[in-house]
Amino acid sequence: MYNPIDLSKKTEELVLKDKKRKYYRFRPARFYGGIATADIVGCNLRCKFCWSGNGVWNAMNIGKFYSPEEVAEILLNIAESKGYHRVRISGGEPTIGRQHLIKLLENIYYDLVFILETNGILLGFDITYVEALSKFKNLHIRVCIKGIDYKEFTFLTGAESGYKYQIKSLEYLRDSKISFNVAMVSTSNDIEPFNDRLNEIGLSKIMLEKEKIKLYPQVKKRLQKERIINYFR
């Protein structure tokens, strides 16, 4: 078991140097109708179903450091060459390294939508982070909630805490002017308890996606090792 806030700090030491952050790949991707994607190194969770592999589990030995300006330039070039209108960070947790992320957002033109895919933990931990993000009008945040409740969160991530911050991030985003939606990973067919939670916090109308877990070979191997693969078939 681990504490995701402590793990965020430890990960920061590995993946941040001044305002530079580690990335391991830049690519055009077909999601969202076509999107320029930067795959980042490092995360504050260890989801058992994560496809990212080394980008999460081997942050020390993978990737290179890039300044926010360099990342912006690469993303803008990909978007321009492919005719995309969206850019995103994927592969790890982009909210680790607040200054880097804010500077990166400042370098993305307003006519491109920046999709921030996050587990929301650092946003729920510190309301000022959400406030700082709210000045970017081209930002859309996709918060991926791990599990319908704390018990499933712990089962899926192995973390001792953090679920309350995931939910808190939704409340903070609700009160900000930031565009956002919710994605949900669950092994349960019945996500009613989570829908009830959304109702309680006034988000019954929020767009909710059920994320499908892809059983890539390394994901399959990890789930088999944990003896939980049957939950994901």
User: 128-147 mask for ligand SF4 (x: CB under 6 A)?
Assistant: --------------------
Min dist. Cβ of residue 79 to ligand SF4 (A): 22
Query: What is the rounded distance in angstroms from the CA atom of residue 14 to the CA atom of residue 97?
Result: 11
Residue 11, phi-psi category: left (phi > 0), alpha (psi -120 to 50), beta (remainder): alpha
Give the DSSP H/E element, type plus range, for residue 140. Answer: strand 139-146
Stretch that binds ligand SF4, among 38-46, 94-102, 106-114, 125-133 (CB under 6 A): 38-46
Question: Which C-beta is closer to ligand SF4: that of 42 or that of 68?
Answer: 42
On whether the CB atoms of residues 46 and 6 are closer than 8 A, the answer is no
Binding piece for ligand SF4, criterion CB under 6 A, among 2-10, 41-49, 58-66, 191-199 = 41-49
Contact flag: residue 56 with ligand SF4 (CB under 6 A): yes
Among residues 119, 166, 169, 186, the one that binds ligand SF4 under rule CB under 6 A:
119
Cβ closest to ligand SF4, residue 57 vs residue 85? 57
Q: Which residue has the tokens 């926010």?
A: 68
Cβ atoms of 166 and 121 closer than 8 Å = yes
Q: Which of residues 67-96 bind ligand SF4 (CB under 6 A)?
A: 92-93
Half-sphere exposure of 95 (CA within 13 A, CB side): 29
Listed residue (2, 99, 112, 97) closest to 47, CA to CA: 2
Is 45 a binder of ligand SF4 (CB under 6 A)?
A: yes
Report the distance separating Cα 167 and Cα 42, nearest Å.
Answer: 22
What's the length of the chain? 233
Looking at 20, 25, 46, 85, which residue binds ligand SF4 (CB under 6 A)? Answer: 46
Q: Is 166 in the site for ligand SF4 (CB under 6 A)?
A: no
Name the segment binding ligand SF4 (CB under 6 A); options: 46-54, 130-138, 193-201, 215-223.
46-54
Return the closest-CA partner of residue 118 out of 82, 158, 145: 145
CA separation for the pair 112, 137 (Å, rounded):
10
Query: According to the binding rule CB under 6 A, does residue 47 interact with ligand SF4?
Result: yes
Examine residue 52 and tell whether it contacts ligand SF4 (CB under 6 A). Answer: yes
User: In the complex, what is the shortest distance from the CB of residue 43 to ligand SF4, in angstroms, rounded to a whole number?
Assistant: 3
At residue 48, what are phi and psi to the nearest 5 degrees?
A: -65, -25
Among residues 47 and 148, whose Cβ is nearest to ligand SF4? 47
Q: Which residues bind ligand SF4 (CB under 6 A)?
A: 43, 45-47, 50, 52, 56, 92-93, 119
